[in-house]
Amino acid sequence: MNAISGTAQGGAAVNSAERRHDEVLLSVQDLHVWFELRRFGFGHAGYVRAVDGVTFDLHYSETIAIVGESGCGKSSLMKTILALHRPTKGDILFENRNLNALKGPELREYRSQVGYVQQDPYGALAPFMTVQRILEEPMIINGIKDKAEREARLRNAMEEVKMSPVDDFLQKFPHMLSGGQQQRVVIARAMLLEPKLIVADEPVSMLDASVRVEILKLLRALQDKHNLAVIYITHDLSTVRYFSERVFVMYAGQAVEKSLINDLIRNPLHPYTMALLAATSDPDADNATRFRDVPPGEPPSLVKPPKGCRFHPRCPHMIKDLCDAEEPPHFEPEPQHLVACWLYR
């Protein structure tokens, strides 16, 4: 399809990674993340059902994109994978170890294998630390005591994110860097401990349009080189194509459609996915002459989600007494393309 994905097959594919490609790295099974609401600090007042029954497998060195709007639960899902929240129900298995069972040093060891690229690079970098200090921090925490080794590793990481000459940047503070450079530092930090999985939460949405592609290409190149698995979280479908093969669309805490990205763009099945695609513009002067179809209303409250399909109050194809009564299961109208919608029953 393009040069970025082309490099995934060619080049120096490491044998062990090739062998492990079919093995599951991370398995999310019927994950529920609910936050309890309390009245005046005590007394139960319901739950915010941020993630409500999400299941997927991620293989070694595979990329998966999670697409959804703010409030759909994608950040809660991500934070649970990073072991920052505990699941209310369901399991996350990383290399067949259950995250729920990890404690203390095991948890720290797990976190060193999962890198996190934050959405807002400026907010993610401590303003009072130099780039050198920022990059040393995770190594100190994870017990790399040899100063020379730390120095060597951080220089290597800086080279990898193309911040060279390295000495020009090491003593700088985050505010002295451009948005793109800040995001490179964030990526370098995520890469330092040689993780197996990178979770990238909207890594380019805060950046200038002209820098976005550069950062995405950098992430893609690092992924190929180190056989990383990546979870790419975004609301922008147009960048997914250049980054990931598999995608799933989240709405109100649930995965409504899972597919390969090209199938999703060619043949979106869920009405919500159709709406997302219809609302995404490519540069074209004719856009100014027509209105875009946008479903009415807003995503539902996650405290009391609608009965049945959660999209039914906004859906133009709603089937009465079915969509508003029963939750749709996942149907598979075409191979490898799952959709939670009664239209395909």
Q: What's the min distance (Å) between Cβ of 278 and another protein?
A: 8
In the bound state with another protein, the residue whose beta carbon lies nearer, of 252 and 276, is 276
Q: Is 238 in the site for another protein (CB under 8 A)?
A: yes
Distance, in Å, from the CA atom of 161 to the CA atom of 170, rounded to the nearest integer, reads 13
In the bound state with another protein, the residue whose beta carbon lies nearer, of 98 and 301, is 301
In the bound state with another protein, the residue whose beta carbon lies nearer, of 51 and 207, is 207
Q: Is 163 in the site for another protein (CB under 8 A)?
A: no
In the bound state with another protein, the residue whose beta carbon lies nearer, of 160 and 202, is 202
Copy the structure tokens of residue 22: 């079919």
Q: Is 96 in the site for another protein (CB under 8 A)?
A: no
Q: Are strands 229-234 and 63-67 parallel, antiparallel or unpaired?
A: parallel
Q: What's the min distance (Å) between Cβ of 306 and another protein?
A: 17
Q: Is 284 in the site for another protein (CB under 8 A)?
A: yes
Q: Is 101 in the site for another protein (CB under 8 A)?
A: no
Residues in the interface with another protein (CB under 8 A) total 43
Cite the DSSP H helix spans in the chain: 3-9, 15-20, 74-81, 104-112, 121-124, 131-141, 147-160, 167-170, 179-191, 209-226, 237-240, 261-266, 271-279
Q: Is 330 in the site for another protein (CB under 8 A)?
A: no
Copy the structure tokens of residue 311: 């999209």
Binding residue (CB under 8 A) for another protein from 144, 235, 313, 318: 235
Site for another protein in 192-221 (CB under 8 A): 208-214, 216-217
In the bound state with another protein, the residue whose beta carbon lies nearer, of 193 and 276, is 276
| Distant-in-sequence, close-in-space partners of 322: CB < 8 Å, separation ≥ 6 | 308, 342
Q: Is 69 in the site for another protein (CB under 8 A)?
A: yes
Distance, in Å, from the CA atom of 106 to the CA atom of 140, rounded to the nearest integer, reads 17
Distance, in Å, from the CA atom of 50 to the CA atom of 72, rounded to the nearest integer, reads 7
Q: Is 8 in the site for another protein (CB under 8 A)?
A: no
Count Cβ atoms within 10 A of the Cβ of residue 268 and give its class: 0-12 exposed, 13-18 middle, 19 or more buried: buried
CB 102 within 8 A of CB 88: no
Q: Which residues are at the interface with another protein (CB under 8 A)?
A: 1-4, 69-70, 178-179, 208-214, 216-217, 235-239, 241-242, 265, 275-285, 287-288, 291-292, 294-295, 298
